[in-house]
Amino acid sequence: MPVICETPNELFYETVFTLERDFERLVVEFADAIFGPDTIYIDIKKRVKGHDIISIPDAYLIDMANPEKPTLFVVENEISSHDPFKHIGIQMLRFVTSFDGAKKTVRDFLMDAIAKDKESLKRLHRGCDASSMRNIDNYLDEAIYRPFQGLVVIDHAKPELHNVLQRINANISVLEFNAYESDNGKALFQFDTLYDELENNIVQLPKNKDQETADRRKRKERRALADTIIVPAQADGFQSTFIGENCWYAIRIGAAMKDRIKYIAAYQIRPISAVTHIAEVKDIIPYKDTGKYMVVFKEPAQQLEKPIGIKEPNKSPQSPVYALREELLNSDTLDDALS
């Protein structure tokens, strides 16, 4: 069992969840940290009485990080002791197959739930005001009347779960949330985020939900508008896969980013230390049972006329980063494109 050590004298042991409601309570509590402050997390089980929704998930999430493209996610919170096929897989399949026929019911339910919660209504207005849409009704329609997107939040994602979700053939992503506790009762939490921030996301309670640095918010805004994923590549892998196979794998991609990525660029590590090639994306598909993805190119990657270097090669990307293609190609350095 994993152990986290804050100091030599204080060890944190992983929490094993036996009740789904205990896990779900933490997801609700950490909703802003997991999904971001530009989202509305609606806990369905507390509000669903009296509504005719055929298949009831644990929550609906409205992502407004890109105000022009609000997106609805169907959220299911699970613990790893549940059977990946009989429980989780069947649940998600039910949501997928009933979603198109229930959109109006879901829309009416969400508007009613949001109207009753001041903070949710405030966020919806804020997202709408930052967009070109006329009013919050149109804005909510824009979020709902899209293809199905689902999220499974779970304490441990086993290969069997990824295998089952692949077979459903729908846009479903998995986020892991882990809790740790020390002998004296102090708690730590480690979790994936909607935009896969790839930074230190271990949070210690108590935490002010409004506390977020300007740099972190700026990174989130860049990701929300990005259309290009930039992947670090070693020489052998770059030649054999990026150039030789017209694809790249296995890439960790945030749940909110999959539908936004239109291009992939290769940052070749030392001694080149520069973005050298870019390709248009044909498809993003699950890579085996890893929870990661393969990006398939429309056609062979094009070499840039002028490589885009980095100011400090010792701080080069160690994992995928996101940018706008136009800004990337017009930047003197990768630092500028990511600023």
Q: Which domains are seen in the chain, by residue range?
A: 3-213 (no CATH), 226-337 (3.10.590.10)
What confidence tier does 206 reach under pLDDT thresholds 50, 70, 90?
A: very low
- Report the percentage of the chain scoring pLDDT > 90: 79
Mean pLDDT of 62-91: 96
One DSSP character per residue, 145-159 reads SS--EEEEEES---H
Mean pLDDT of 98-109: 93
Tell which residue, 70, 73, 144, has the closest CA to residue 109: 144
CA distances from 234 to 237, 271, 299, 314 (A): 6, 10, 21, 15
Look at residue 197 in the predicted model and tell me its pLDDT: 62
Please state, in angstroms and rounded to a whole number, the distance separating the CA atoms of residues 170 and 96. 7
Tell which residue, 296, 294, 242, has the closest CA to residue 268: 242
How many of the other CB atoms lie within 10 Å of CB of 47?
17
Please state, in angstroms and rounded to a whole number, the distance separating the CA atoms of residues 172 and 158. 15
Higher pLDDT, 5 or 183: 183
What confidence tier does 224 reach under pLDDT thresholds 50, 70, 90?
A: confident
- Asked whether residue 17 carries a pLDDT value surpassing 50, the answer given is yes
Mean pLDDT of 49-78: 86
Look at residue 238 in the predicted model and tell me its pLDDT: 97
Look at residue 47 in the predicted model and tell me its pLDDT: 57
Look at residue 328 in the predicted model and tell me its pLDDT: 96
Average pLDDT, the chain: 90
Look at residue 210 in the predicted model and tell me its pLDDT: 52
Look at residue 137 in the predicted model and tell me its pLDDT: 97
Look at residue 179 in the predicted model and tell me its pLDDT: 96
Please state, in angstroms and rounded to a whole number, the distance separating the CA atoms of residues 186 and 180. 8
- Asked whether residue 264 carries a pLDDT value surpassing 80, the answer given is yes
User: Whole-prediction pTM value?
Assistant: 0.88
